[in-house]
Structure 1
Amino acid sequence: MSSLFEEIDSQSSPLGQISLRRRRIPVLGDRDIYEVKLGDEFLMSSMFVDAEEALSTLGLAAVKGDSLSVVVGGLGLGYTAVAALKDERIDELLVVDALETVIGWHRDEHVPLGKILNADARNRYVLGSFFDLATAPGTGFDPNSPGKQFDAILLDIDHSPTEYLNPANASFYTTANLALMAEQLKPEGVFAMWSQNLPDADFEALLKTVFTRVESHVVAFDNPFQGGESTNSVYVCVKGGV
């Protein structure tokens, strides 16, 4: 293949054909850009990771205490997980992803951040549907510790609260199912979520039916393709105490 483009892997998945590609864009400098596509849709690019990293930094900034246990929903290219591990308070990080292919890219270090995640003993991959595990507090996210509670749950799977990677995910965004997920948070635990869109007032109102405090953050980043800034958002929610 051209030195400017390589398809590293492409496999079928329950959601369709998923592929990992690496490209270089000379005008953007001497660096590899990694991309994930699902069918013809771009899911993620290593060019735009500011908001994925902010999901961890903003979410964990709202967490009190030490010796933290944290869940990341959605592995992607690993940026949210690696940003979380920079917080020295974390004792364990569970990264939940429904696609074995994506976990394999990291375990086999086909993506740059796989090496960092594999080398950190605090990190553990969990193969499973985040949404199924989130709404089953009796079993929960940790297959080794059913019913365990966590200090923070950081979610980056759907494009937004109204635009879904899988139409089946829509049922998660209800008071009942968000409350089931919140059962897996310790008192004053934090739920944070990424969205590609600006904050949505209706979703903020929904979050307030479950969480004591809800804040929305706009994350701006340079987008050379659009000749200016783009924005994503991060919702940060705190569960009530005992």
Structure 2
Amino acid sequence: MPLFEEIDSQASPLGQISLRKRRMPAFGDRDIYEVKLGEEFLMSSMFVDAEEALSTLGLAAVEGDQLSVVVGGLGLGYTAVAALKDPRIAELLVVDAIETVIGWHQDERVPLGKILNADSRNRYILGSFFDLAVEPSTGFDPACSGKKFDAILLDIDHSPTEYLNSANASFYTTANLSLMAEQLKPGGVFAMWSQNLPEAPFEALLKTVFERVDAHVVSFYNPFQQDESTNSVYVCVKA
């Protein structure tokens, strides 16, 4: 069995995006999937703790049943699959701007595609999360303009100050976060992943929009560094 395989590589609006699979003998009999944009690593199935925690921590702050939830950023599907483990979820909209990434899941070229495709609660939405977020009159669901959601879970940029695309920077303002918050029901939750430890200026910005803001540090073992690594998840509750 080859130790490395490039499964697919396609042009996208953000640059060349590729899906790769590798095996590392030191880590045993497991396939490790990776997504790269140009020369930049976006996602690895070796480190998924924080992506899953985005769902578990975010949804833990939501009250009620029959939840309607948006996930911004499909990646390798770990945030979406973790969300669907919550039995209260009635519908999950997974928004991604790159058609190729959605196609990898629909065609089950990535391991979690089969789980997402088999769950009738899941729906893929092709579009820019950041464009849809600031248009509450139309919103995230093309089948229902102006729909409001119980939770919006975001994992696209590397952090609130390090962007996948420089155009995303304009989202992180009181005005645009407030437009996104209009798409949440009262008591709804916005949660966001970051590769960095919590940043006080961003917490202060979130507090200009949300009634409650909590920042969680998620630790996980990094075998490359043979040490603990950390990401963070911001969980914000609307009044």
Is the TM-score greater than 0.5? Answer: yes
Q: Tell me the residue number matched to 2:167.
A: 168
Give the counterpart letter for 1:31 in structure 2.
R
| Unpaired stretches in structure 2, ≥5 consecutive residues | none
Aligned Cα RMSD in Å?
A: 0.5
Q: Following the alignment from structure 2 to structure 1, what is the Cα–Cα distance between the partners of residues 128 and 17? A: 16
Q: Tell me the residue number matched to 1:73.
A: 72
1:206 shift after superposition: 0.1
Q: Following the alignment from structure 1 to structure 2, what is the Cα–Cα distance between the partners of residues 124 and 227? A: 38
Q: Tell me the residue number matched to 1:61.
A: 60
Q: Following the alignment from structure 2 to structure 1, what is the Cα–Cα distance between the partners of residues 98 and 126? A: 7
1:136 is paired with a residue of what secondary structure? Answer: coil
| Unpaired stretches in structure 1, ≥5 consecutive residues | none
After superposition, residues 1-242 of structure 1 pair within 5 angstroms as: 3-240=2-239
Q: Following the alignment from structure 1 to structure 2, what is the Cα–Cα distance between the partners of residues 59 and 145? A: 24
1:129 shift after superposition: 0.1
Q: Following the alignment from structure 2 to structure 1, what is the Cα–Cα distance between the partners of residues 37 and 98? A: 12
1:157 shift after superposition: 0.1
2:71 is paired with a residue of what secondary structure? Answer: strand
1:231 shift after superposition: 0.2
Q: Following the alignment from structure 2 to structure 1, what is the Cα–Cα distance between the partners of residues 232 and 117? A: 28
C-alpha offsets along residues 76-123 of structure 1, whole Å, 9 cap, x if unaligned? 000000000000000000000000000000000000000000000000
Question: TM-score, normalization: structure 1?
Answer: 0.98
1:227 shift after superposition: 1.0
2:54 is paired with a residue of what secondary structure? Answer: helix
1:112 is paired with a residue of what secondary structure? Answer: coil
Q: Following the alignment from structure 1 to structure 2, what is the Cα–Cα distance between the partners of residues 27 and 226? A: 13
Q: Following the alignment from structure 1 to structure 2, what is the Cα–Cα distance between the partners of residues 128 and 153? A: 15
1:23 shift after superposition: 0.2
Give the counterpart letter for 2:123 in structure 1.
R
1:110 is paired with a residue of what secondary structure? Answer: coil
Question: TM-score, normalization: structure 2?
Answer: 1.00
- Which segments of structure 1 move beyond 2 Å, counting only runs of 4 or more? none
Q: Following the alignment from structure 1 to structure 2, what is the Cα–Cα distance between the partners of residues 73 and 83? A: 14
Give the counterpart letter for 1:58 in structure 2.
L
Give the counterpart letter for 1:113 in structure 2.
L
C-alpha offsets along residues 100-159 of structure 1, whole Å, 9 cap, x if unaligned? 000000000000000000000000000000000000000000000000000000000000
Instruction: Report percent identity of matched pairs.
Output: 85
C-alpha offsets along residues 170-213 of structure 1, whole Å, 9 cap, x if unaligned? 00000000000000000000000000000000000000000000
